[in-house]
Structure 1
Amino acid sequence: MSSSLKDPVQPPPHEPPRGLNGRRAQAARNDHSILAAARTVFLQSPQAPVAAVAKEAGVGISALYRRYPGKEQLLQKLCADGLRTFISIAEQYSDGQPDPFTALKDFVRGIVDADVHALTVKLAGTFTPTPELGELSVRADLLMKSIFQRAFDGGMLRADADANDVPMIFEQLTAIRLLDEARTVALRHRYLDLIMDGMRSNPTFGTLSAPAPSGMELGERWAVPQSA
């Protein structure tokens, strides 16, 4: 991370609040356990039942349902938390410091290290987005594109690079997932270096063989399949 950050990355939204006692403290611990378990379970299989989440969390199914009426609400919560983390990280690089290219690279690294994009992509099309999620998504997209555009306008990126390449870079990097967490991080950073070097402006680069994905292509995965 760059030393130019205005504020440190906020704690993960699944961190239980401190200073609570009694039932409220237990409820907060249960909620933390449920969300952490849901992330683990749904990364492996978005189609998994909520019973698998309760088992992973070590709580009764009734405790889960007291907090989340159904799987739909649980998925919506996970996605909203992921978008808020994305926005928190993006806001730290929105002024383009220390230079636009480094800001873009550090932003991408921050999102990959937070590992929020992998889950949101897994969940795409498995639940109905809420208006709140729509607003968070728009905010996240605007921040991402502004960080990209500063680097592009500064002549630091190849002419055929596109802001819509960035979400696909997130997908490629977060697909790297080994049993060794430290090695996973190291390999993600290795390929981040390779990919970002390929994004740099270089007069010897040829033209890319295909255009960047369109906004419609990126968004079509969020359409919930209609029952026949």
Structure 2
Amino acid sequence: MTSPPMSGRRRQAARNDELILQAARAVFTADPGAPVAAVAERAGVGISALYRRYPSKDALLQKLCYDGLQLFIKAARDGLALADPWEGFARFMRDVVDYDSHSLTIALAGTFPPTEELYREAELAARLGAEVFERAAAAGVIRPDLVVDDVSMLLEQLASVKLGDEARTAALRRRYLALMLESLRHRPGAPPLPGPPPSREEIEGRWAYHG
């Protein structure tokens, strides 16, 4: 059964919402401290139209973070759907980088008060990501001195590669991910990694809101 067509007003509202989210993603991933007015200007909509949909900057940031978590969750589930543990892990890593989910989650963490829904989705994302990692570790296909929080930090480093040009940024991120994947795969006789991995407190502490 098909849905009835939207009225002209509803189509315009949906279009405005899409423009606002696209603009917010570009503005806030570049500068989380930017004003909401910069989003409205980039989207080409009035500030009143933006506030009708998102009553505050926090609400807009919460939506972006939620969307980023959904992309991460999808990447993890798609990786787990592959039978081969290494291919599942590599697929997960590639999808997270291509979706740029870390720019919508970690990069914005601490800049707005998280909701209970965001906490739940973040816990689900962490659990599924750990499952992808642990399956590969159990199969012996990734280096034994690696922990799942190392992977989080590596993905964050890849998300920091930004050149302004989206296509060039995406190409370089894939290039460096390919290098990372080669180094993450288990190689007998490889020297151990120096120093301890990040702690759970170090990873989770970045989500603390200090507004």
Same fold (TM over 0.5): yes
Structure 1 segment 13-28 matched on structure 2, within 5 A: 19-28=5-14
Corresponding position of 2:70: 84
Counterpart contact for 2:79–2:87, Cα < 8 Å: no
Identity over aligned pairs, percent: 51
CA deviation after TM superposition for structure 1 residue 185, in Å: 2.0
Moved over 6 A (4+): none
Three-state SS of the structure 1 residue aligned to 2:161 is coil
Counterpart contact for 1:118–1:174, Cα < 8 Å: yes
- Distance across 2 between alignment mates of 1:109 and 1:98: 17
- What value does the CA root-mean-square deviation take over the aligned residues? 1.6
Return the match for 2:163 from 155, 168, 178: 178
Corresponding position of 2:129: 144
Three-state SS of the structure 2 residue aligned to 1:124 is coil
- Distance across 2 between alignment mates of 1:180 and 1:81: 22
Three-state SS of the structure 2 residue aligned to 1:164 is helix
**In the alignment, is residue 53 of structure 1 matched against residue 44 of structure 2?**
no
Return the match for 1:107 from 85, 92, 97: 92
Matched letter for residue 127 of structure 2: L
Which has a greater percent of helix?
2
Corresponding position of 1:221: 206
Counterpart contact for 1:112–1:173, Cα < 8 Å: yes
Q: Please, what TM-score do these two structures have when normalized by structure 2? A: 0.94
Corresponding position of 2:15: 29
- Distance across 1 between alignment mates of 2:182 and 2:4: 42
Return the match for 2:56 from 43, 67, 70: 70
**1:137-182: CA deviation from partner (whole Å, max 9, x where unpaired):** 0111111000001110001111101111121121111111223333
Counterpart contact for 1:42–1:122, Cα < 8 Å: no
- Distance across 2 between alignment mates of 1:190 and 1:98: 25
Corresponding position of 1:13: none
Matched letter for residue 73 of structure 1: A
Structure 1 residues 166 and 19 mapped into 2: Cα distance closer, same or farther (>3 Å)? farther
Counterpart contact for 1:100–1:151, Cα < 8 Å: yes
Q: Please, what TM-score do these two structures have when normalized by structure 1? A: 0.87
What is the count of residue pairs matched by the alignment?
Answer: 209
Return the match for 1:188 from 173, 197, 200: 173
CA deviation after TM superposition for structure 1 residue 19, in Å: 4.2
CA deviation after TM superposition for structure 1 residue 89, in Å: 2.0
- Distance across 1 between alignment mates of 2:166 and 2:208: 32
